[in-house]
Amino acid sequence: MAALEIENLGIRYGTRSVVAGVSLAVAPGTTVGLVGESGSGKSSIANAAVGLAPVASGDIRVGGASTVGRRAAARAARRRVQLIFQDPFSALDPRMPVGESVAEGTLATGRRWGREERRRRVRELLEQVHVDPDRAGALPGAFSGGQRQRITIARALAGEPEVLIADEVTSALDVSVQSTVLNLLRELQRTLGLSILFISHNLAVVRYISDEIYVMRGGGIVESGPTEALLDAPADPYTAELLGAVPVLGERMTFEEAATP
C-alpha cells in the first residue's frame, strides 16, 4: 500500500478549478518529486493533503486512510502528514525560542507529553537536524536561513509523520545551502523511513532527491515515471522544455553548479 495516495484529485477555489484529475502515489520510504511551473497547482495539492485547500473531488489517502472531510478519522489521517513550507523566515514565530516551536510540533502526535520527556525530545530532534540543542532557547533571528529551515524540519518531525510534504523548501535559500537541506532530507528518510512528496519548480533539485517524478502543468499531470528513465527520455514536450532549462547533473558537475539558474 502506498504511504500517500492521491486519486483523481480535483481542487476548486470557489468556482475556479485549479487542479483536476490528479493521481499519484508515494511508495513507503521513497521520495516522489512534483515539478512544474508556478501556478500549476503544486502547492494546492500539498495544502489539500493537510486540509488547507478545498478538495472538490477525488481522494487523498495516508496509509489507506482518507484525509478528506470533517470526520474524526479524516482529521487523524491528516495528522499523519506534515508540511514544510518554502519560507524559513516566516515559518517560525520570531518571538518564540526555537525549542518551543519544535516542542509545539509534538502536539500533532495527539499524545500527552511530560515536561522532561518533551525537553529531551526537542534536544533529540534538534540533534537530528544538526542544530546545536544547547541553542534551543535562542530566537529564530539568531540562526541562518539554512539553520531555520532545518529547525522547521525538526518541528515537522516532532509530529512523527509518516509522510512529509516539502513545498519549495530550498527556494528561499542560497544555492550553497540548498544541498545541505536536501542531503538532510535524504538522511532523515533513510534513518526514519519517511515517505516524502517533494515539490519544486526546479528540476535539478527534484532530480537530485527523487526516486520518481511527476510533471505538472495547468492543474494536471502531464507525465510521470522513475527519475532517470523520465529524464533520459521525456515523452512530453513540456518535460523536455523544463529539462532544457536546467543543466544536467553529471559526474563533472556539482549540485551547486546544476542548481544555479
Ligand X SMILES: Nc1ncnc2c1ncn2[C@@H]1O[C@H](COP(=O)(O)OP(=O)(O)OP(=O)(O)O)[C@@H](O)[C@H]1O
Determine if 43 is a binding residue for ligand X (CB under 6 A).
yes
Residue among 20 and 192 whose Cβ is closer to ligand X:
20
Q: In the chain, count of helices (H) and strands (E)?
A: 10, 10
Nearest approach in angstroms of CB 50 to ligand X is 14
Length reported for the chain: 261
Residue among 22 and 26 whose Cβ is closer to ligand X:
22
Determine if 38 is a binding residue for ligand X (CB under 6 A).
yes
Of the residues 3, 5, 36, 194, which one makes contact with ligand X according to CB under 6 A: 36
**Which stretch in 37-45, 61-69, 100-108, 203-211 sits in contact with ligand X by CB under 6 A?**
37-45
What DSSP assignment string belongs to 160-207? --SEEEEESTTTTS-HHHHHHHHHHHHHHHHHH--EEEEEES-HHHHH
Nearest approach in angstroms of CB 105 to ligand X is 23
Amino acid identity of 99? G
Residue among 13 and 89 whose Cβ is closer to ligand X:
13
Residue among 143 and 167 whose Cβ is closer to ligand X:
167
Binding footprint of ligand X, residue count (CB under 6 A): 11
Determine if 15 is a binding residue for ligand X (CB under 6 A).
no
Q: Exposure string (b/e) for 244-261, b if CB count within 10 Å is 16 or more? A: eebeebeeeeebeebbee
Are the C-beta atoms of residues 50 and 78 closer than 8 Å to each other? yes
Nearest approach in angstroms of CB 36 to ligand X is 6
Q: How many other CB atoms are found less than 10 A from the CB of residue 53?
A: 19
For residue 14, what is its C-alpha cell? Answer: 470557489
Residue among 5 and 167 whose Cβ is closer to ligand X:
167
**Which stretch in 32-40, 143-151, 152-160, 181-189 sits in contact with ligand X by CB under 6 A?**
32-40
Of the residues 6, 22, 25, 44, which one makes contact with ligand X according to CB under 6 A: 44
Residue with cell 516524502: 196
Measured CA distances, 58 to 20, 37, 147, 197 (Å): 9, 23, 37, 18
- 137-156: contacts with ligand X (CB under 6 A): none
Determine if 170 is a binding residue for ligand X (CB under 6 A).
no
Nearest approach in angstroms of CB 134 to ligand X is 36
Are the C-beta atoms of residues 196 and 163 closer than 8 Å to each other? yes
Determine if 39 is a binding residue for ligand X (CB under 6 A).
yes
Are the C-beta atoms of residues 67 and 34 closer than 8 Å to each other? no
- Residue 11 phi, psi (nearest 5): -125, 130
**Which stretch in 42-50, 72-80, 101-109, 116-124 sits in contact with ligand X by CB under 6 A?**
42-50
DSSP E strand stretches across 63-183: 65-66, 81-84, 163-167
Determine if 191 is a binding residue for ligand X (CB under 6 A).
no
Nearest approach in angstroms of CB 38 to ligand X is 3
Footprint of ligand X (CB under 6 A): 13, 18, 36, 38-44, 201
